Every structure is written in C-alpha cells, then in structure tokens.
Chain A
Amino acid sequence: MSIFRYLLPKKKNTAGVAKERLQIIVAHERTLRGGPDYLPQLHQELLEVVRKYVNVDADAVNVQLDRNEGIDVLEMNITLGDEAVN
C-alpha cells in the first residue's frame, strides 16, 4: 500500500509458488497412499531395471494402483524421453 513500494522492484509472490509445488507433490503422494506397502519399493526396483537399458529420470516411471468395482489394477507407465531413445 505504501507509495514507496511502487519505487521498489516487485517481489515474487512466494506463497503462490508454495501452493503450486504443494498441490503437485501432494497429488503425487496421494496416488501411492492406501496401496500395498511394497509399492514404493516396486517403483524403485522398476526404475533400476529400466535404467539398466535406458537413461531416464526418476519421474519417468509411474506406478499407480486403481480400485474399480472389486478389481485392483496395477498400472505402470514408463515414459522414455527423446534422449533416452537415442
């Protein structure tokens, strides 16, 4: 509100950054919640296996457990970037 503030360089809204980062990480961690305890380790080992063959980031492997009408579906997505294929 101060008139002097207009003379100073504008500071970044860090709360907005915090909210955005939190929404992403919390959403990610919720997908793993409630799943079997082996899920994180499965994820880690899958990543290691993939990395034996292609160079991928840690977030390239996505493991998700969905429950639909009594059927559990373990869904795995492995994204190979452009670099990885070469």
Chain B
Amino acid sequence: MTKVVVVASGKGGVGKTTTSAAIATGLALRGFKTAVIDFDVGLRNLDLIMGCERRVVYDIVNVINGDANLRQTLIKDKRTENLYILPASQTRDKDALTIEGVGKVIEELSEMGMEYIICDSPAGIEKGALTAAYFADEAIVVTNPEVSSVRDSDRILGILASKTRRAEEGQGELPARLLLSRYSAERVEKGEMLSVDDVVEILAIPLLGVIPESEAVLNASNAGTPVILDVDSDAGQAYLDATARFLGEDLPLRFVSVAKKGFLGRLFGG
C-alpha cells in the first residue's frame, strides 16, 4: 500500500523543499521505501538539497513523455537506503506535467513497492501545485509564523480540500497537518512572533511539528545533505520528531520555549 503525501504551502521560500527532503529521508531511515518527487518544473531544486544534482540524467517530464523509463530516471540516494529521488525538468514549460502523466508515474512507483511518495509542490496555487496535490492521500502544510505565510497556507488548505482526486471522488477532505518552520521561541516570548498555538488556532489543523529557526538548515543545504541527517542540530532533531509523529508516535513538542536563564541572566539579559 502506497501513501502519497504532498508538501504544500502556497507561499514560496517557507521550507517546502527542505521539509520534503527531510521527511522523505526520515521515512527512509525508518525503513520505508520512499520516493520524493520534485514538481517544480523549471525551478528544480530538490536535487541540490538532496545533494544529487550531478547525477540527474532524466527527469519526470522525460518519463511522462516516454523518453526514458522510471528506473533510468530515479536517482537512488547514496547516503540513505530505501530512498529515491525523481527530479523535475529544468527546461521544459510547466504544461508538460499532466494529471494523467503524473498518475501513471505514481502508479508505476507504487508497483515498484514504494511505501511513501513525497510530492514536493511548487509555490503558488496554479496548475503545478494542483498537479502535485492531486493524487495525495494526505498533506503536510509548511508555514512560517508570519502573516502572509499563514494566510497562504489557509488558502492552500481550501484548495487541498476541494481540488484533489480524493475530494472529487467524494472521499472527503484531504487530511492535512501543519509543520511550522523558522520558529523562534525567543521572539514569540517577546511578543514579536505568532506562537505555535496562535497558528494552530487560525489554521485549525493538527500540528505535525515545529522546526526552529536554525543555522543548521543553511549549512545542510550548502552541503547538499538533508538537515534531518544532522542529528546533533535542533532542526535535525525537530524533523526526526516530526517524522515520528507522522508515523503516529506521540511525542512532546521541543524547541518551543526559551531555555530558562539564571538569576544574573534575567537581571542583565535582553
């Protein structure tokens, strides 16, 4: 049984690709055979975040057009067992990705025994994002604690609820969970940032995890290593937690409160 998961946000730059790479790697680390698909045709980036950009030969549009088969195109991750990357096309126009074509690719991945297929959606609410979401069984909505990101997430939730195959076939709304990224507990405490409770209250969906604002994320993308593999970092641990919650484990939230300062720190600290 294959589960298709779309990683969406509406707004760009909030961490969809970082999250897709991390969660896909996290699931593969847990032993699940996982494929991660980049749907951002024309603006491919998942390959860079996964560190396999030099190994891309064919892409998803080649597969859909029949220029290459899926086995030739899938990139097997070198670090993590069970993990496969399907890159987006860098050159072709966005209309090359059709619902029928993507449906065939997903079916074929399923026949190959993939247990999870993570769809890294492009930003926006246009065809690319709709195509990435269409076959999803569930969604991870990536949001930053910031007004435009929260509003766009609510917008994308409306679209996920009505424009997926699940909705069209009358199977009800797509289950969606929130991943709040770039979170700063310090700024929340100062009243400068929406808190996790605020965002959950506004979007009214269950919380999958909170990823703290972290230097580790840029370091990981510089190196082409999914941040979840940096197990000593706060963001890496937060993604490990999110993966565990995704699989149904009940873990307490971390990185959502400021470490208590000592007396002198309280006296002189900011």
Contacts and interface: CB of A to CB of B under 8 A. Distances in A.
Interface of A: 1-4, 11, 13-16, 18-19, 21-23, 25-26, 29-30, 33-34
A16 B162 CA distance: 31
B54 interface: no
A26 B269 contact: no
Interface in B241-270: 261, 266-270
Contacts of B193: 15
A19 B202 contact: yes
- Which 3 A-B residue pairs are closest in the complex by CB-CB distance? A13-B191, A33-B158, A1-B266
Given A21-B147, A26-B151, A30-B158, A15 B198 contact: yes
Contact of A15 (B155, B194, B267): B194
Contacts of A1: 261, 266-267, 269
Contacts of B195: 15
Contacts of A14: 191-192
A30 B146 CA distance: 19
Contact of A2 (B146, B191, B192, B268): B268
27 contacts: A1-B261, A1-B266, A1-B267, A1-B269, A2-B268, A2-B269, A3-B268, A11-B190, A13-B191, A14-B191, A15-B188, A15-B193, A15-B194, A15-B195, A16-B191, A18-B147, A18-B198, A23-B202, A26-B154, A26-B202, A29-B151, A29-B154, A29-B155, A29-B158, A30-B158, A33-B161, A33-B162
B150 interface: yes
A79 B194 CA distance: 33
Dominant secondary structure of chain B at its interface with chain A = helix
Interface residues of B, number: 24
A22 to B, nearest CB: 5
Contact of B191 (A3, A4, A15, A33): A15
Contacts of B162: 33-34
A29 B158 CA distance: 10
A1 B161 CA distance: 44
Given A15-B198, A26-B202, 12 more contacts: A1-B267, A1-B269, A3-B267, A3-B268, A15-B194, A15-B195, A18-B194, A22-B150, A26-B151, A29-B158, A30-B154, A30-B158
Contacts of B161: 33-34
B265 to A, nearest CB: 8
Contacts of B158: 29-30, 33-34
A22 B202 contact: yes
A20 to B, nearest CB: 10
Nearest to A14: B192
Contacts of A16: 191
B147 A2 contact: no
Contacts of B151: 22, 25-26, 29
B171 to A, nearest CB: 16
Contacts of A4: 268
